[in-house]
Amino acid sequence: MIRVFVADDHPAFRRGLDLMLRDVEDVELVGEADSGKRAVDLIDELQPDVVLMDLKMPGLDGIEATRLITGRRPDVAVVVLTMFEDDDSVLAAMGAGACGYLLKGADQDEIVRSIHAGAAGEAIFGPEIAKRVMSHFANRAGPTTPAFPSLTDRELEVLHLVAQGKGNAAIAHDLMISVKTVRNHVSNIFTKLQVPDRSTAIVTAREAGLGRPQR
């Protein structure tokens, strides 16, 4: 079972998610909070695998709550579920360690898919958000010098696929190597780039021009 926690200050929305997730066989809603601080306080006690996080909440907002949760518990995946789709909110959430970003208009299949992806260590974005993120990085000037000279060619290949939002199993399939080897490469990449988690690595890689579709 995938243990899910919901942080949102709207009781009706939390209730709707509760009803929605009851129909999903491998997902269990283990708790909820109406503020970022309450969410942070309950994480160690309830041990969720995935947190569905609103951004705008009283007191501690979803960005800071995400940063605190992922900093203290990197094994917990945070998927943002919000009304805000502006670039600043998306990039701030990614920088804080969120592994996914959906709008509140997302249907049940999208939300459930994001929960499964987060639990599997993958990054996932709703269609509208994915377009905005790719557009943001596509419009930025590329680097004038080779990116990440400390990385080997294979590590650059892995980082490119990580930046596309692929999980370790998918990367292993694409490169025809073992999942364990991918994990080792990802660990080396995090160390060399001095990044704390996968979401930060994605932001760093995309800012350097990696992760764009091959033409």
The answer on 100 and 61 residing in a single domain is yes
Q: What is the CATH number of the domain that holds 8?
A: 3.40.50.2300
Query: Over the chain (215 residues), what is each successive 10-residue block's mean pLDDT?
Result: 96 94 94 95 95 93 93 91 85 86 90 93 77 60 62 90 89 90 92 88 86 58
Last residue of a domain, one of 136, 159, 180: 136
The answer on 128 and 25 residing in a single domain is yes
The answer on 97 and 147 residing in a single domain is no
The answer on 156 and 125 residing in a single domain is no
The answer on 147 and 131 residing in a single domain is no
- For the chain, the domain total comes to 2
The answer on 121 and 20 residing in a single domain is yes
Q: SS in 3 state form for 167-206?
A: CHHHHHHHHCCCHHHHHHHHHHHHHHHCCCCHHHHHHHHH
> What is the model's pLDDT at position 199?
86
The answer on 156 and 107 residing in a single domain is no
Kindly report whether the global pTM for this prediction surpasses the value 0.75: no
The answer on 163 and 107 residing in a single domain is no
> What is the model's pLDDT at position 145?
47
The answer on 130 and 147 residing in a single domain is no
Last residue of a domain, one of 102, 136, 170: 136
Q: In what order do the strands lie in the sheet with 124-125?
A: 27-33, 2-7, 50-53, 77-82, 100-103, 124-125
Q: What is the CATH number of the domain that holds 166?
A: 1.10.10.10
Per-position DSSP letters for 20-82, written without gaps between them: HHTT-TTEEEEEEESSHHHHHHHHHHH--SEEEE-S--SSS-HHHHHHHHHHH-TTSEEEEEE
> What is the model's pLDDT at position 105?
86
The answer on 124 and 99 residing in a single domain is yes
- The parent domain of residue 113 ranges over 2-136
